[in-house]
Amino acid sequence: MSLNRNVQAYIGLIVALAGISLVFGSLQIRAFEWQNLTLWSTVCVVAELLWLNTLTGQGTVSMASTFNLAIIFLIGWEKSLWVAGASTLFANLAIQKKEWYKALFNTAQSVLSTAIAGILFLATGGLTLLPNADSSGPHQIAAFLSRFNDARLIIPFLTCGLAYHFANTFLVSGVISLAAKGKLLPTWRQNYGYSEEIVSSLALIFLSPLVVLSFGAVSFLGIVLFFVPLLFVRDASRRYLELMRTQDAMIKAASLAGRGEMAAQMAHELNNYLAAISARAQMILMYHPIDGDPRVRKCGEIIYENITKMRRLVDEMVRPAASHVRRTVNLNSVVEQAVDLSRFHERFDDISIDVVLDPAVPPGQFDDMQIQQVIMNLLKNAGEAMLGTDIPAKRVEVRTSYDPERNQVILTVTDNGPGMPIEVAARIFKSSFTTKADGHGLGLATSNKIIQGHDGRIVVESRPGAGATFTITLPLAA
């Protein structure tokens, strides 16, 4: 989750509303039964352990909703606020080890969801089934069963359960969509609106009246029985998520295989055209007079050299392992060539590229074509990230340095562009992951594989509005 201004404002609003709910609900409570509330909080903490990531991995699904609803029915929504808040906060911080702002938001949205569901429960004719903490006496049990058997509670039960589910999931989807700068409804559908998740949520909702009945009859001992069906629901959801992720991976693998076949066909055709251009470049060098304009000969040499590199790159698209050749080169010269080839592209018309090369960088064992490909890809991404933005003095800096203690060179590519959210930076080197409408998600994944093939490492540091810095470390010896 990225803490941009919209996310901060949203979290602040939810926390404020949750605080108002807690204050208003507490004013309605005549007496706190701390022992009873502590026991319920413990039950909800245990239920919070049965959580899963959603299909997209952006949100979470908890099995605690069954018990949160049961508490609303049994002791009233006012006391339930404290149980939901305390159990969520403790589970998030002490067990799930989430960041403080995520724990704060999850606690607030849990409290707010409970308040919305509880108020609607009362508004549709519901009543607190066990207002007193002591439920052991026969009169209390009889009074409880009499209230529970009232058919008029069916509508309040359903209204409360559905309100809790939709409030909970839409509040979470709200913060996800703001962090990713997406739309609310599609985000909700991707994380919570697919049929299997809806069925699981309905199962948890319909279990809550059974928890109420069990607790009203035998107190907390009856609660233990309901962790077994919760485990079944959790495992069924987990298997479905694993199946969908496996299916998605197979589809991507098939797509990449198809792209590989297409790349092989394109490589064959491109090599024919490149061979013709290469031959013409050699003819320019062959027939150009020795005493002619040296600039013409220099241009011919550059054309021939880069056509040779392009043919090698085309071959590498089809057979990357066979074309991986290391030789002794200086990283500074590779950087200069990559920048020279990138600088005159139209995407850099209003962007300055600053090159700061450490003269102490010694030669190393690299595949210069592959490293040049990585640098050009990083420059291309930086330029595209700043296209269409109103950032003043757009700038990209490429810097090299030498670490003699580890015998490695360090290359950084830094831009002052819009940056990226934390969750995007965490997935940016994964194959097929892209934030571009027309992207394929292979550029940075390929760059990462190239650097790893050189026994190096590439990392990114970025936050929204503060640009991005890609740092590459490469050992000098193979």
pLDDT tens string, the chain, 478 residues long: the values are 446 788 889 999 999 999 999 999 888 887 767 777 888 888 888 877 776 666 666 667 777 788 888 888 888 888 899 998 898 899 888 887 888 888 899 999 999 999 999 999 999 988 887 766 544 445 556 666 666 777 778 898 999 989 998 999 999 889 888 877 778 888 888 888 877 778 878 888 888 888 887 776 666 666 766 666 767 766 766 776 677 667 666 666 565 555 556 666 666 667 667 777 777 777 777 777 777 778 887 887 888 777 777 777 676 665 554 445 788 889 999 999 888 878 777 778 788 889 999 999 999 988 888 898 899 889 988 888 888 777 888 899 999 999 998 899 999 999 988 888 877 887 788 766 666 655 555 678 888 888 988 889 999 988 787 889 999 999 987 6
What pLDDT, on the 0 to 100 scale, is given for residue 432?
63
* Number of C-beta neighbours around residue 424 at 10 A: 18
What pLDDT, on the 0 to 100 scale, is given for residue 323?
47
What is the C-alpha to C-alpha distance for residues 17 and 24, in angstroms, rounded to an integer? 10
Contact 1, 102 (CB under 8 A): yes
Helix (H, G, I), strand (E, B) or coil at 261: helix
What pLDDT, on the 0 to 100 scale, is given for residue 135?
47
CATH topology identical between 5-222 and 327-475 = no
Enclosing H/E stretch for 155? helix 154-180
Domains of the chain, by residue range, sit at 5-222, 254-318, 327-475
Task: Give pTM, 2 decimals.
Answer: 0.53
Length, in residues, of the chain: 478
327-475 topology per CATH = Heat Shock Protein 90 (3.30.565)
Taking the mean position of all CA atoms in its chain, how far away is CA 148?
A: 44
What pLDDT, on the 0 to 100 scale, is given for residue 107?
92
What is the C-alpha to C-alpha distance for residues 107 and 341, in angstroms, rounded to an integer? 52
| Sign, CA torsion 276/280/282/286 | positive
Question: 5-222: which CATH number, 1.10.1760.20, 1.10.3720.10, 1.10.8.50, 2.60.40.10?
Answer: 1.10.1760.20
What pLDDT, on the 0 to 100 scale, is given for residue 344?
72
Contact 364, 438 (CB under 8 A): no
Closest to 189 measured CA to CA, from 68, 69, 66, 59: 59
What pLDDT, on the 0 to 100 scale, is given for residue 2?
46
What pLDDT, on the 0 to 100 scale, is given for residue 121?
92
What is the C-alpha to C-alpha distance for residues 13 and 3, in angstroms, rounded to an integer? 14
Work out whether strand 364-366 and strand 327-329 pair parallel, antiparallel, or are unpaired. Answer: antiparallel
What pLDDT, on the 0 to 100 scale, is given for residue 38?
85
Contact 173, 56 (CB under 8 A): no
